[in-house]
Homo-oligomer: A and B are copies of this chain.
Amino acid sequence: MTNSREPSDPGFEQRVRDSFGRQRLMATLGAGLVRVSAGEVEIEMPFADHLTQQHGYLHAGVVTALVDSACGYSALSLAPSGTEVLTVEYKVNFLAPARGDRFVARGRVLRSGRTVTVCSGDVVALVGAQATPVAAMLATIITVSASSAAGAAADRA
């Protein structure tokens, strides 16, 4: 097991940005990469009416999508060149209604292994400069060869 935050791929930031650019959902959410470092990634999005639940707050699924991507890219930032990452599972606790002007999700690698990476994530809602924690995630991600991840026969290992 390596817990070092030394990226094995020096081009990790560009690689994360390229993959993020291919996630059509991120554009649909209006989300952008704020920060990409080795083992930690932040994504931000504004509030939007078309993404709400029945009380007018951001839908839990959108909050989850944001922090899932943040966790996944924190894992990818440490993955060797020629590999891809797949989310095996995650758990999210919702701490407060997702009410705010903007939302920032952060993903961090807790444990980086050859096959299994464990990440923790959180989301804060911002009203002006005031931040309220709205979600906490614990996620399991696996690293696979790029060909098996993208291929038509991909089986999520």
Contacts and interface: CB of A to CB of B under 8 A. Distances in A.
Given A23-B54, A55-B149, A113-B155, 5 more contacts: A23-B52, A23-B59, A59-B65, A64-B65, A93-B138
A81 interface: no
Interface in A125-157: 133, 136, 138, 140, 142, 149-150, 154-157
Contact of A65 (B23, B50, B62): B62
Task: Please indicate which of the listed interface residues A25, A69, A114, A149 has the most CB atoms of chain B within 10 Å of its own CB.
Answer: A25
A97 interface: yes
Interface in A20-59: 20, 22-25, 27-28, 49-55, 59
B66 A155 contact: no
A150 B56 CA distance: 9
Contacts of A157: 113-116
Given A25-B51, A64-B65, A93 B59 contact: no
B61 A66 contact: yes
Nearest to A53: B23
A45 to B, nearest CB: 12
A111 B90 contact: no
A1 B151 CA distance: 13
Contact of A120 (B53, B55, B136, B140): B136
